[in-house]
């Protein structure tokens, strides 16, 4: 799957993932009214509104980008109905030829991580039948529990030829609270925790190589370009999923250090910046009716911003 992702990035010229993280305030009124008219102001109504909204955006942008990243929390907030929409969205995006990164940030003790891994990436045995659950192509994983919380995910990725992005340095303002703590070195100088985690990701990934990159990648926020530079060196073969572009403050110029010399090695996520483009001044001209066209314009601009930044680094 990592080879497929890279091939799609080359073909589209867009190291971009669209974050399908719908909240109801992003969804235009006419879509909500349609859904509520059918299912009422209920969880089912909300889930239907999100589905209609997602589908229109995916239809408008699927040919421009290699991948989408639905954030499962935004579906889970609507309970079971929301998760039905999550599943429909995953299936629909795959039909459209998109790589789907489930942003689930799961991670638990071994036997529990195994259940998450089979539910999201693999197959579960029921009697003599193998069944698939959410069936994303990649998922994000939280490493706080250490190797035995991560290895069940790696095992399923090996079997299914899928992949992971493991949280190393997250994009949020307080990510440093624990991730930046200086850890005492034994034979070397003290280093922040995220470097230790990054080394571990590189080590897990070494046994999981695609053609040129590992299918065990990392999450490093665009909002921390200096740390990105260091982590790029610590994990040369890890694909880096970079959130925090756009709404969270990351700019094209901040991204260059996340990429390798080959112009590969990173894929940049934008959520609000793409899916709620119609609410931004820059794209307001499209109007609520044409929200999906606004999203398409935002993808084109983002592609250009990244391409210019990469070109400028020489």
Annotated catalytic residues are 105
Given candidates 1, 14, 65, 118, which one binds its own copies under the rule CB under 8 A?
118
CA–CA gap between residue 297 and residue 279 (Å, rounded): 13
Least distance (Å) between residue 68 CB and its own copies: 16
Given candidates 196, 307, 309, 310, which one binds its own copies under the rule CB under 8 A?
196
- Is residue 80 near its own copies by the rule CB under 8 A? yes
Residue range at the interface with its own copies (CB under 8 A); choices 2-10, 16-24, 61-69, 155-163: 16-24
Residue range at the interface with its own copies (CB under 8 A); choices 136-144, 256-264, 273-281, 285-293: 136-144
Least distance (Å) between residue 217 CB and its own copies: 17
Binding mask 17-56 for its own copies (x = CB under 8 A): ----x-xx-------x---x---xxxx-xx----------
Instruction: Tell me if 236 sits within 8 A of 22, measured CB to CB.
Output: no
Given candidates 4, 108, 199, 260, which one binds its own copies under the rule CB under 8 A?
108
Residue range at the interface with its own copies (CB under 8 A); choices 62-70, 102-110, 226-234, 303-311: 102-110
Given candidates 183, 206, 209, 300, which one binds its own copies under the rule CB under 8 A?
183
Label the pairing between strands 214-220 and 163-169. Answer: parallel
- Is residue 209 near its own copies by the rule CB under 8 A? no
- Is residue 181 near its own copies by the rule CB under 8 A? yes
DSSP string, 246-294: STTSB-HHHHGGGS-TTS-SEEEEESHHHHTGGGSGGGGGGTGGGHHHH
C-alpha triplet 209, 201, 204: angle, nearest 5°: 50
Least distance (Å) between residue 245 CB and its own copies: 13
Instruction: Tell me if 258 sits within 8 A of 240, measured CB to CB.
Output: yes
Instruction: Tell me if 167 sits within 8 A of 216, measured CB to CB.
Output: no
Count the residues of the shown chain that bind its own copies, applying the rule CB under 8 A.
77
Q: Which of residues 143-162 bind its own copies (CB under 8 A)?
A: 143-149
Of 251, 204, 199, 247, the C-alpha closest to 225 is 251
Given candidates 73, 206, 207, 300, which one binds its own copies under the rule CB under 8 A?
73
CA–CA gap between residue 24 and residue 18 (Å, rounded): 17
Query: Which residues, 6 or more positions from 305, have their beta carbon under 8 angstroms from its beta carbon?
Result: 251, 252
CA–CA gap between residue 156 and residue 117 (Å, rounded): 6
């Amino acid at each position: 799957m990592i080879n497929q992702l890279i091939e799609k990035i080359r073909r589209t010229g867009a190291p971009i993932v669209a974050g399908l993280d719908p909240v109801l305030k992003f969804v235009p009124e006419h879509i909500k009214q349609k859904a509520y008219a059918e299912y009422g102001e209920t969880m089912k109504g909300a889930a239907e509104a999100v589905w209609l909204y997602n589908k229109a955006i995916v239809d408008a942008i699927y040919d421009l980008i290699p991948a989408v990243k639905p954030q499962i929390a935004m579906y889970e907030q609507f309970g079971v109905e929301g998760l039905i929409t999550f599943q429909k969205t995953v299936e629909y995006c795959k039909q459209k030829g998109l790589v789907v990164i489930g942003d689930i940030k799961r991670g638990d003790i071994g036997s529990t991580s195994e259940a998450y891994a089979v539910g999201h990436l693999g197959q579960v045995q029921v009697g003599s039948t193998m069944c698939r659950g959410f069936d994303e192509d990649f998922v994000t994983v939280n490493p706080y529990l250490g190797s035995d919380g991560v290895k069940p995910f790696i095992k399923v990725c090996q079997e299914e030829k899928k992949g992971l992005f493991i949280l190393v340095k997250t994009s949020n303002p307080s990510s440093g609270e624990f991730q930046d703590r200086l850890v005492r070195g034994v034979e070397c100088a003290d280093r922040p925790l995220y470097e230790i985690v990054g080394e571990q990701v590189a080590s897990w990934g070494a046994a999981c190589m695609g053609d040129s990159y590992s299918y065990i990648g990392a999450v490093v926020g665009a909002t921390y370009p200096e740390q990105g530079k260091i982590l790029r060196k610590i994990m040369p073969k890890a694909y880096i999923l970079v959130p925090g572009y756009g709404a969270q403050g990351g700019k094209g110029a901040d991204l260059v250090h996340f990429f390798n010399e080959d112009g590969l090695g990173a894929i940049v996520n934008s959520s609000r910046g793409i899916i709620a483009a119609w609410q931004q001044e820059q794209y307001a001209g499209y109007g609520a009716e044409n929200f999906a066209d606004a999203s398409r314009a935002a993808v084109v601009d983002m592609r250009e911003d990244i391409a210019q930044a990469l070109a400028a680094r020489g």
